[in-house]
Amino acid sequence: MRFLKRTWLWFDDLTGLSAMLGPLLDHPVPKARKTAWFYVLGSATLIAFLIQVVTGTALASGYVASSGQAYSTLQFISSAPIGRVIRGIHYFGASAMIILIGLHTIRVYLMASYKYPRQMNWLSGVALLLLTLAMLFTGQLLRWDQTGFWSVLIAAEQAGRVPFIGNWLGHFILAGDTVGGATLSRFFAAHVFFLPGLMFLIVGLHLYLVVHNGISEPPSTKNPVDPKTYRPWFQALLAREGEPFWPYAAWRDVVFGFLVVATVVGLAILVGPPLLGKPPDPTIVEATPRPEWYFLWYYAILSIIPKWSENWVMVWAPAAFGAALVLLPFVARKGQRSPIRRPWSFAVVGVILFSIAYYGEVGKIAPWSPRMDAPPLPATVVGATSGPVADGARIFHDKGCEYCHKVAGYGGIRGPDLTYTGDTLTPAQIITRIYSGAANMPSYRGNITPDQMSALLAFLGSRHRQPIEPPVASGQP
């Protein structure tokens, strides 16, 4: 022990480490009292980031960033027991990081800690939030399975909606004319060097600002922020009741941070990383790319908005959201910080959280997606094995009707459920719909023979709440 202590003193004498770090650890922080546990979210985000740095470095040592080989290196990593766990930690670490940075942003927003003098804290935090989203996108793509491959094209097509530079931007994402050898390397470089490098710099700035401006005191209705008097007032508050950060505030960060690490590692071992999809082979046309859970809500919103609004939602809504985040600390730079006096802030957070949860669920179901794997209706549902009703049921499947219309639990849910069409629509109405189509249904005029149509009518007309006598399969009163 004595030797260790002497070594440390020698090292510290040569480096001045304790003289540099001491003030950082000892810097006084205001008493947070009841809200103390809300203050652990920032450090927990940092811990999640560090988890990603460590496991990402480990993964990079087994990964080949080549469009042709990345998939097999991922198979290799996933087949090794420790590789599987590391992939799991990296996956759940990413989820933890976006959840924690989201909650941290919400905490800062609700407590209005972004007001004077902490505007730069907020702006650097916004940059980190956006960079985290970029990391999520580039990271899920490095899995380089079928979904990863098509994500690049989908991203490029979305970028293509940007006015003037869209085409260039889209091809910049592809790294050329088509998805190919250059594509994955570019995303790898972004995910492993460019974005994390920026994040290290901005995390440094963010932490420096936290110490420089001091951790915000819990808001109180009695102390609105006045930029003219805030700093001396805050210094007086710290002198009066401040506590050294280490260990009086830091212990909570450590406890919560440990829980984050334990949860992430536990999930990685128990649940494991997401399974690899099919290989990134464009000749496999049967592909149904879906985003990870954290982008499902966005996928859902893009799917349900009206057609005319698409360019606005894809290009201008994210831009407006970013602009709102940047302008917030300048528009609301002083005054009340207490959320009780800013009730709309709860509404804003409520709407955002509800939308993410609700549209995330909708995105999971994806009611707008045709169920192209729907099997032909079984005879028990059809109620006939031959004759016009059976023919009609086969045409219902072959013409793709079933991909969007459900009958007795089979088929898609994009269009109306047709289990009881016989009760709700007359044959004339059915014919009109099939021939004229609708915004989300193709017109079958010229695409269906009179024989096929009459069989289809027989089938749809036989869909009743109370089944007609089974033997009288084709006859319909």
Partner 1 sequence: MSENSPSDAPTQSRPQLNRRKFLVRLSIALSSIGAALVAVPSAAFLLGLRKSPRIWRTVGKLDDFKVGETVNVAFEDPSPLPWAGVTAQTTAWLRRVSDQEFIAFSTICTHLGCPVRWLSTADLFMCPCHGGVFYADGDVASGPPPKPLNRYPVRISNNEVQILTMPVPIA
Give the residues lining the site for partner 1 (CB under 8 A).
66-69, 149-150, 153-154, 156-161, 166-167, 170-172, 174-184, 279-283, 285-289, 302-303, 307, 310, 368-370, 372, 398-400, 403-404, 414, 437-443, 447
CB of residue 415 to partner 1, shortest distance in Å: 9
Which residue, 382 or 401, is less far from partner 1 as judged by CB?
A: 401
Q: How many residues does the chain have?
A: 477
Q: Side chain identity at 177, as an amino acid letter?
A: D
Which residue, 179 or 268, is less far from partner 1 as judged by CB?
A: 179
List, in order, residues 6 or more apart from 306 with CB less than 8 Å away: none
CB of residue 78 to partner 1, shortest distance in Å: 19
Which residue, 181 or 244, is less far from partner 1 as judged by CB?
A: 181
DSSP codes, 63-117: ----TTTHHHHHHHHHHSHHHHHHHHHHHHHHHHHHHHHHHHHHHHHHTTTTSTT
Return the structure tokens found at 74: 């991922």
List, in order, residues 6 or more apart from 339 with CB less than 8 Å away: 110, 111, 112, 219, 345, 346
CB of residue 297 to partner 1, shortest distance in Å: 15
Which residue, 280 or 383, is less far from partner 1 as judged by CB?
A: 280
Residue 78: alpha-carbon gap to chain centroid: 23
Q: Are 177 and 72 in contact (CB under 8 A)?
A: no
CB of residue 388 to partner 1, shortest distance in Å: 18
Return the structure tokens found at 236: 């007086």
CB of residue 403 to partner 1, shortest distance in Å: 7
CB of residue 287 to partner 1, shortest distance in Å: 5
CB of residue 380 to partner 1, shortest distance in Å: 23
Return the structure tokens found at 268: 């990685």
Q: Are 95 and 296 in contact (CB under 8 A)?
A: no
Which residue, 51 or 179, is less far from partner 1 as judged by CB?
A: 179
Residue 274: alpha-carbon gap to chain centroid: 15
Which residue, 76 or 403, is less far from partner 1 as judged by CB?
A: 403
Which residue, 13 or 451, is less far from partner 1 as judged by CB?
A: 451
Residue 97's CB is within 10 A of a number of other CB atoms, namely: 25
List, in order, residues 6 or more apart from 238 with CB less than 8 Å away: 28, 29, 30, 214
Residue with tokens 């059976």: 390
Residue 343's CB is within 10 A of a number of other CB atoms, namely: 8
Q: Side chain identity at 276, as an amino acid letter?
A: L
CB of residue 158 to partner 1, shortest distance in Å: 6
Q: Side chain identity at 137, as an amino acid letter?
A: F
Which residue, 62 or 160, is less far from partner 1 as judged by CB?
A: 160
